[in-house]
Amino acid sequence: MNLKKLSEKLGLSQTTVSRALNGYPEVNEKTRIRVQEAAKRFNYSPNSRAKGLATGRSMVIGHVIPSAKKHEMVNPIFGDFVAGASDALAHFGYGMMFTRVEADAEEDAYRNMMSNSSVDGVILQGPSVNDARIAMLQRIGMPFVVHGRSSGVTTPYSWVDVNNTRAFKRATQFLTQLGHMRIALLNGREDMDFAVRRREGYIAALEDAGLSVDETLMRSAEMTEGYGHQAMTEMLAAPNPPTAVLAASMISAIGVRRAIEEAGLRMGRDISVVTHDDDLSYLGNGQGAPIFTATRSSVREAGELVAEFLIDQIQNPDSGEKTHLLEAELLVGDSTGPARKGI
Amino acid sequence: MNLKKLSEKLGLSQTTVSRALNGYPEVNEKTRIRVQEAAKRFNYSPNSRAKGLATGRSMVIGHVIPSAKKHEMVNPIFGDFVAGASDALAHFGYGMMFTRVEADAEEDAYRNMMSNSSVDGVILQGPSVNDARIAMLQRIGMPFVVHGRSSGVTTPYSWVDVNNTRAFKRATQFLTQLGHMRIALLNGREDMDFAVRRREGYIAALEDAGLSVDETLMRSAEMTEGYGHQAMTEMLAAPNPPTAVLAASMISAIGVRRAIEEAGLRMGRDISVVTHDDDLSYLGNGQGAPIFTATRSSVREAGELVAEFLIDQIQNPDSGEKTHLLEAELLVGDSTGPARKGI
DNA sequence: ACAGTTTTCCAAAGCGCTTTGAAAATTCGC
DNA sequence: GCGAATTTTCAAAGCGCTTTGGAAAACTGT
């Protein structure tokens, strides 16, 4: 069923039917109702491509996922972020399109989306420090919102980010106040902007507390369970091990806990652990008291905000850049306690 | 840059340019090369909507995510499955489109996609027993491939599934052979087809071993960490606790382990745990020896296969239904051991 | 009842591509 | 070198929608 047939059945022109369905005022309320009912009855829904062609809008926002190596890690927050974003997008009638490309072809992918005009805007995930994609998107004029920020990029752009610096500063302070002097940081990949900010927060708190920064207590890698486990195991085996650890994610914190227990120690008593909790739906941090003391910020909420900002930017392109800094709450759980002397 | 302008610049008709770019034979090789170079130079890429309108193909496959309640769980395998599927799709020039709808509007969503013709086919995730969506898609003539199967649906359809029954039967056998008599099953939601099959495998193995089925040792719920922890805690507190547990996923197995340790027991010695491992990229099951004894099957591979089947079905609609049953390997790790009498 | 408004509807152009049917240019056979 | 066969190119229609510019119909007030 298409517009032409529908209008023939109704004995109206395509124009009128189209207008009736799209809520234009220049159509009699009675005929509008008649048209709407017929549309429902014949199960008519306008061809999205034809509509897009005519309007120049695709009602789709894009998401390109670069794939470096074949079996690169998939970010565990992906699902929840997408759920949040999709909820907001669906609310405005937008869909979400994924394109997977080789990492070195990412620029081309955006350029194509633009000349294609297959999407009305894109979401930029996982910005690195000085992320070149931002300038690139601005150059080609593609609307976008960044999930995170990119230190070093000076031109304004829209973003939604967690206050990673403050979160990790507070977390570190929390540990120093408990008397911890040797605090390890199992950070994410430090080419990622969020990881750099977390490190800054960590270092700032250490310096405030008059503690020196020990490079041997700092690691940086993809945040897997295995990474958490391995890093913690190595640190515990080294001379003068840490008494507390900041982990980059729940997943890696789980690995940290495993290492602690394998060493015959107990988390929260012998070693304190603080992690960042993205509030993933399948990985709740305990029902009552949190398992892990954690800086928590919902990635789902971030997804919703990103989507809202993006749609706003598409609909009024001149409204300027929107930014939002989410504060993470510091939730105290069972994984932290006062530093014990000489374990 | 569009076709018209490009053809004007080249002094050729749109027809010729279009044919040159789409590899039709009726165009001189020299002009083809000239056209291709110009296209690259002017950064021309055909408008996907216009192309779709003209060809009747959108080169997009759809994925609808029903959202029951606002904060429903997001499946942790989502990311890896999508990565696998997108890789395969990208290879054939297809994109992937997500639409999030209220669960009760799922049928409408498919129907719209069809009359819209906004997608060329869809992937069906998480089939339940007797899933009504299958008949529905067949009725409206939308090409689709199911990730999983649906017991009770008798008409043929394309699917890719893991042999859940055999996997859990073998896992259970493995435990009975170690002397375990009281084996718990922390299953996924049993309205899901995969969970039903796993239960069947579990029960079959128990019966083969001459063991009786104890309803108090069987749970079923969304596979979160919290679920694993709570169920295990309760079972350990009950009289006559199990000596072994089958967990539905790595995530819930992690909760199980936490409960075991909180109870002052040791996994692998006091309580054996077997889990299903979807081989998620961020949740490796140990580097050397696996942490958990597990039935493993890559959800990423499943994603690739589903995508390939779907594209095949779109390209030759009459080639019949394709199905593939992935066998899970049983990997022995440190989480299992012989049953201990009287813990 | 009639010119002037306002409301309601429509024909046709256009969005950017593919594809059909035909014309122009080239090559071939002799 | 000339008609036939073949290769190469093109104009125009069509995909299903929106939207412009106008016409017809229905109300105004006098």
Q: Residue B146: which of B168, B129, B166 has the closest Cα?
A: B129
Give A 70-99 residues with CB within 8 A of chain B.
Answer: 70-76, 78-80, 82-83, 86-87, 89-90, 95-99
Over range B23-47, report the average pLDDT: 92
Supply the pLDDT for residue B70.
54
Nearest chain A Cα to B291, which residue?
Answer: A258
Structural domains present in chain A: 3-46 (1.10.260.40), 60-162+300-326 (3.40.50.2300), 164-297 (3.40.50.2300)
pLDDT at residue B153 above 70?
Answer: yes
Residue B103, pLDDT score: 83
pLDDT of residue B69: 60
Residue percentage of chain A with pLDDT more than 90: 84
pLDDT at B36: 94
Residue B332 has pLDDT above 90, yes or no: yes
The reported pLDDT for the residue numbered B71 is 52
**What would you report as the CA-atom Rg of chain A, rounded to the nearest whole angstrom?**
25
C-alpha atoms less than 13 angstroms from C-alpha of A144 in its C-beta half-sphere: 27
CB A340 within 8 A of CB A270: yes
- pLDDT for A343 equals 47
CA angle B143, B148, B151 (to 5 degrees): 100
- Residues 6 or more apart in contact with residue A208 via CB below 8 angstroms: A173
Beta bridge partners of B294: B275, B331
Name the residue among A118, A132, A95, A89 with its Cα closest to residue A309.
A89
Task: Provide the strand spans (E) within A135-212.
Answer: 144-147, 159-162, 183-187
Q: How far B101 CA lies from chain A's nearest CA (Å)?
A: 7
pLDDT in the model for residue A342 = 53
Q: Which helix (H) or strand (E) holds A231?
A: helix A225-237
Reduce the DSSP state of residue A244 to 3 states and report it: strand
d(CA A36, CA A50): 20
- Burial level of B254, CB count in 10 A (0-12/13-18/19+)? buried
**Which burial class, exposed, middle or buried, applies to A262 when counting CB atoms under 10 A from its CB (0-12, 13-18, 19+)?**
middle
Structure token digits, residue A311: 């749609």
CA of residue B29 to C1' of nucleotide C30, angstroms: 30
Between strands B323-326 and B159-162, the pairing is: parallel
| Residue B117 token pair | 């013709």
**Chains A, B: CB contacts under 8 A, how many?**
178
Partners of residue B302 in chain A, C-beta under 8 Å:
none
Q: How far is the CA of A54 from the C1' of C14 (A)?
A: 8
Under DSSP, the state recorded for A312 is H
Check if A280 contacts B (Cβ < 8 Å): yes
Confidence at residue B11, expressed as pLDDT on a 0 to 100 scale:
92
Question: Identity (one letter) of the amino acid at B329?
Answer: E
- Angstrom distance (rounded) from CA A50 to CA A271: 62
Kind and range of the H or E run holding A234? helix A225-237
What per-residue confidence (pLDDT) applies to A73? 72
pLDDT of B342 over the 70 cut:
no
The identity of residue A95, as a single letter, is G
Q: State the average pLDDT over residues A226-235.
A: 96
B118 and A48: CB-CB below 8 Å?
A: yes
* Per-residue pLDDT band at A108 (split at 50, 70, 90): confident
CA distance A109 to A55: 23
Distance measured from the CA of protein residue A53 to the C1' of nucleotide D10, in angstroms: 25
Q: What is the pLDDT of residue B108?
A: 87
Written as six digits, the tokens of A145 are: 């919102």
Residue A58 has its nearest CB partner, among B49, B73, B89, at B49
Looking at per-residue confidence, does A324 or A2 come out higher? A324
CA dihedral B264, B266, B272, B277 (to 10 degrees): 100
Footprint of strand C on the protein (CB under 7 A): A 11-16, 26-29, 31, 50, 53-54, 56; B 2-4, 14-15, 18-19, 21-22, 44, 46-47, 50-51, 53-55
Radius of gyration over every alpha carbon of chain B, rounded to an integer in angstroms: 25
- Pairing label, strands B218-220, A159-162: unpaired
At A89, give phi and psi (nearest 5°): -65, -45
CB-proximal positions of chain C, under 7 Å: 7-12, 14-21
What is residue B125's predicted lDDT score, i.e. its pLDDT?
Answer: 93
**A277 and A292 in contact (C-beta within 8 Å)?**
yes
pLDDT tens digits for range B70-106: 556 788 899 999 999 999 999 999 999 998 888 888 8
Q: Residues A103-120, buried b or exposed e (16+ Cβ, 10 A)? A: eeebeebbbbbbbbbbbb
For A230, the enclosing helix (H) or strand (E) is helix A225-237
Of A114-118, A285-289, B169-173, give the lowest mean pLDDT range.
Answer: A285-289
Reading the block at residue A204, the tokens are: 């700032």
Pairing of strands B183-187, B144-147: unpaired
Tokens of A302: 């971030």
Distance CA B323, CA B145 (A): 9
Structure tokens at B243: 């000596």
**Å between CA of B22 and C1' of D14:** 19
Tell me the one-letter amino acid at B119.
V
Nearest nucleotide (C1') to alpha carbon of A18: D18
Interchain contact A259–B (C-beta under 8 A): no
Average pLDDT over residues A273-278: 98
Q: What number is the average pLDDT over the span A173-192?
A: 97
Averaged pLDDT for residues A172-188: 97
pLDDT at A160: 98
Mean pLDDT for A205-224 is 96
Helices (H), A26-178: 29-41, 48-55, 78-91, 106-116, 132-140, 164-177
Confidence of residue A69 (pLDDT cuts 50, 70, 90): low
Task: Locate the DSSP E strands across chain A.
Answer: 60-67, 95-102, 121-124, 144-147, 159-162, 183-187, 218-220, 244-247, 272-277, 293-296, 323-326, 329-331
Lowest mean pLDDT among A303-307, A316-320, B234-238: A316-320
Best residue in B6, B71, B74 for a mutation probing chain A (most A CBs within 10 Å): B74
Residue B69 touches partner A, C-beta closer than 8 Å:
no
Indicate the pLDDT class of residue A74, thresholds 50, 70 and 90.
Answer: confident
Query: Once rounded to an integer, what is the mean pLDDT over residues A212-233?
Result: 96
What residues of chain B lie within 8 A of the CB of A291, using their CB? 258
CA-nearest residue of chain A to B72? Answer: A281
pLDDT at A68 (0 to 100): 67
Nearest to A166 by CA among A206, A208, A204, A193: A204
Q: What are phi and psi of B66, to 5 degrees?
A: -75, 140
| pLDDT (mean) for B249-256 | 96
Specify the nucleotide whose C1' lies closest to residue A2 (CA). D16
As a whole number, mean pLDDT of residues B176-196 equals 97
The percentage of chain A sitting over the pLDDT mark of 70, rounded to a whole number, equals: 98
Q: What is the mean pLDDT of chain B?
A: 93
**Average pLDDT rounded to a whole number, residues B39-57:** 93
Split at pLDDT 50, 70, 90, the class of B343 is very low
Residue A287 confidence (pLDDT): 75
Cβ(B115)–Cβ(A45) below 8 Å: yes
Tell me the C-alpha distance between A145 and A278, whole Å. Answer: 19
Measured in whole angstroms, the distance separating CA B66 from the mean position of its chain's CA atoms is 15
Q: What pLDDT score does A72 carry?
A: 66
- How many whole angstroms separate alpha carbon A109 and alpha carbon A137? 11
| Residue A84's pLDDT band (cuts 50, 70, 90) | very high
Q: What is the mean pLDDT of residues B20-49?
A: 92
Closest to B49 measured CA to CA, from B85, B2, B7, B92: B2
Task: Label each residue of chain B as H, E or C.
Answer: CCHHHHHHHHCCCHHHHHHHHCCCCCCCHHHHHHHHHHHHHCCCCCCHHHHHHHHCCCCEEEEEEEECCCCCCCCCCHHHHHHHHHHHHHHCCCEEEEEEEEHHHHHHHHHHHHHHCCCCEEEECCCECCCHHHHHHHHHCCCEEEECCCCCCCCCCCEEEECHHHHHHHHHHHHHHCCCCCEEEEECCCCEHHHHHHHHHHHHHHHHCCCCCCHHHEEECCCCHHHHHHHHHHHHHCCCCCCEEEECCHHHHHHHHHHHHHCCCCECCCEEEEEEECCCCCCCCCCCCCCCEEEECCHHHHHHHHHHHHHHHHHCCCCCCCEEEECCEEECCCCCCCCCCCC
